[in-house]
C-alpha cells in the first residue's frame, strides 16, 4: 500500500515537471550579450536612462519556428530578486503574467532584427525614455542611481511564451545626482594646473583692460591739427530791426535808421 502511494507521488511529480522541462528545452540561448553603446552616443548613461545596442542578426528566427510574427522584448531587472523572478517564471508564466511583476517592454518585431536588415548606422534602444509611463510595459524612467541588468528575449505571440533569450548584461550603474549644497567650492581644492591656468587668464585680462584704458585716455588728449577755429565776430551794438504788424515808430526809426 505504501509502495503504491510512493509510486503515485512519483508519477504526479513527473507529470508536474514535464511541462516545465518541455518549455525549458524550447528556450534557445543567444550568444549576444546586451551592452551599453559606445561613447559616441550622447547621453549613453544618465540618472534614469541608458542606451543599448540592438541585437540585429543575433536571433535565428527560422530555427525558432517563427514565420513573421515573433517579437523581441527586453526585461530590466533592478535587483537580484527581479532577475531570479524572471528566470523562474519564464518557463511557467506567459509574458502577459510577467509584465505585472517586472519591467518588461516590447522593442520590435522579428523583421526589425533579421540578418537581412540594411546597416544604416548604429541602432540603439533607450531604456527608461518614456517619462509619461505609468505601468511596467511602457519603458518608464528607472530609479535614479540604480544598478540595472537587462536581457533581450523573443516571444512567440501564438503561445505568448519565451522561445529565445540573451544572457543577462553586466551591471549598468546609472548616475547619481549630486546635491549642489554638498559641492565644495574652496579654492584650495583645485588642482595645481587649474590654479596656474586661472592665474594666467586673470593676468591677461588685467593687462587687456589696462591697454584699453590707456588707448581711451590717449584718444581724449589728441587734437585734430586740421581743425580751424574761427572767432565769433559779433557786434554787440548791432541789432537787427524787426517790424511788427507793419507799424513803425518815428522814434525808433530815428534811432535805428535803415
- pLDDT tens digits, 153-188: 999 888 888 999 999 999 999 998 877 777 666 666
3 in a structural domain: no
Length of the chain measured in residues? 258
Yes or no: say if 174 and 148 are a contact pair by the CB < 8 Å rule: yes
59 in a structural domain: yes
CA dist 151 and 54 (Å) reads: 11
CA dist 162 and 156 (Å) reads: 7
- H-helix or E-strand spanning residue 179: none
240 in a structural domain: no
Confidence of residue 64 (pLDDT cuts 50, 70, 90): confident
Give the total number of structural domains in the chain: 1
Who wins on pLDDT, 80 or 117? 80
128 in a structural domain: yes
198 in a structural domain: no
CATH number for the domain that contains residue 125: 2.60.40.10
Residues spanned by the domain of 47: 26-176
Strands 124-127, 147-156: pairing kind: unpaired
Question: How would you label 65-82 residue by residue, b for 16+ Cβ within 10 Å and e otherwise?
Answer: ebeeebbbbbbbbbeeeb
248 in a structural domain: no
Backbone angles phi, psi at 64, to 5 degrees: -80, -5
243 in a structural domain: no
Per-residue pLDDT at 15: 42
> Where does 34-191 have alpha helices with state H?
80-89, 95-98
- pLDDT tens digits, 65-101: 888 789 999 999 999 999 999 998 888 888 888 888 8
Is 0.85 topped by the overall pTM? no
Yes or no: say if 123 and 57 are a contact pair by the CB < 8 Å rule: no
215 in a structural domain: no
Close Cβ partners of 218 (under 8 Å, ≥ 6 residues apart): none
Amino acid at each position: 500500500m505504501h509502495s503504491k502511494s510512493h509510486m503515485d507521488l512519483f508519477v504526479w511529480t513527473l507529470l508536474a515537471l514535464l511541462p516545465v522541462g518541455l518549455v525549458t528545452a524550447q528556450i534557445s540561448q543567444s550568444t549576444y550579450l546586451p551592452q551599453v553603446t559606445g561613447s559616441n552616443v550622447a547621453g549613453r548613461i544618465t540618472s534614469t536612462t541608458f542606451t543599448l545596442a540592438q541585437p540585429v542578426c543575433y536571433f535565428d528566427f527560422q530555427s525558432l519556428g517563427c514565420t513573421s510574427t515573433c517579437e523581441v522584448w527586453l526585461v530590466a531587472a533592478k535587483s537580484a530578486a527581479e532577475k531570479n523572478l524572471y528566470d523562474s517564471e519564464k518557463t511557467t508564466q506567459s509574458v502577459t503574467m510577467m509584465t505585472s511583476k517586472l519591467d518588461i517592454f516590447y522593442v520590435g518585431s522579428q523583421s526589425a532584427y533579421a540578418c537581412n536588415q540594411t546597416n544604416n548606422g548604429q541602432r540603439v534602444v533607450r531604456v527608461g525614455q518614456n517619462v509619461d509611463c505609468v505601468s511596467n510595459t511602457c519603458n518608464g524612467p528607472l530609479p535614479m542611481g540604480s544598478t540595472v541588468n537587462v536581457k533581450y528575449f523573443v516571444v512567440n505571440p501564438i503561445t505568448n511564451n519565451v522561445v529565445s533569450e540573451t544572457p543577462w548584461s553586466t551591471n549598468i550603474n546609472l548616475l547619481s545626482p549630486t546635491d549642489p549644497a554638498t559641492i565644495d567650492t574652496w579654492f584650495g581644492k583645485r588642482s595645481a594646473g587649474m590654479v596656474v591656468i586661472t592665474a594666467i587668464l586673470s593676468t591677461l585680462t588685467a593687462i587687456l583692460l589696462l591697454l584699453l584704458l590707456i588707448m581711451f585716455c590717449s584718444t581724449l588728449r589728441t587734437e585734430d591739427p586740421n581743425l580751424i577755429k574761427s572767432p565769433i565776430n559779433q557786434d554787440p551794438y548791432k541789432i537787427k530791426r524787426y517790424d511788427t504788424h507793419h507799424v513803425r515808430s518815428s522814434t525808433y526809426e530815428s534811432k535805428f535808421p535803415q
